[in-house]
Amino acid sequence: MIKVFIVHGLGGWPNGGWRIWLMSELEKKEIYACALSLPNQDRPLCEDWVDEIARHVIANPKDKIYLIGHSLGATAILRYLESPLAKKIAGTILVSGPVKTTGNEIIENFLTKSFDFKKIKSKIGKALVIHGNNDPRVPLEHAKFLSEKLNCKLTIIKNGGHLNGSSGWHSLPQVLEGLLQMLSVKELESLKETALLSKVPGLLKSLKKSQKEAKQGKTITLEELS
Tens digits of residue pLDDT in 118-161:
999 999 999 999 999 999 999 999 999 999 999 999 999 999 99
Is the pLDDT at 226 greater than 50? The verdict is: no
The predicted pLDDT at position 161 comes to 96
Distance of alpha carbon 222 from alpha carbon 45, whole angstroms? 34
Residue 213's pLDDT band (cuts 50, 70, 90): low
Is the pLDDT at 196 greater than 80? The verdict is: no
Task: Using only the alpha carbons of the chain, give its radius of gyration.
Answer: 16
Average pLDDT, the chain: 88
- Contact call for residues 87 and 58 (beta carbons, < 8 A): yes
The predicted pLDDT at position 190 comes to 72
**% pLDDT > 90, the chain:** 76
DSSP state of 175: H
Is the pLDDT at 167 greater than 60? The verdict is: yes
The predicted pLDDT at position 225 comes to 39
Q: Give burial (CB, 10 Å; 0-12/13-18/19+) of 13.
A: middle
The predicted pLDDT at position 215 comes to 53
The predicted pLDDT at position 187 comes to 78
**Mean pLDDT confidence for 193-217:** 54
CATH code, domain with 175: 3.40.50.1820
pTM of the model: 0.85
Going through the chain in order, the beta strands assigned E by DSSP cover: 2-7, 32-35, 64-70, 89-95, 124-132, 153-157, 219-221
Torsions phi, psi for 77 (to 5 deg): -65, -45
pLDDT, one tens digit per residue, over 72-90 is 999 999 999 999 999 999 9
The whole domain housing 206 covers 2-225
Is the pLDDT at 186 greater than 70? The verdict is: yes
- More confident position, 93 or 205: 93
Going through 71-147 in order, the beta strands assigned E by DSSP cover: 89-95, 124-132
The predicted pLDDT at position 210 comes to 57
Total domains in the fold of the chain = 1
Nearest to 135 by CA among 110, 171, 99, 108: 99
Is the pLDDT at 20 greater than 50? The verdict is: yes
- More confident position, 189 or 100: 100
The predicted pLDDT at position 221 comes to 46
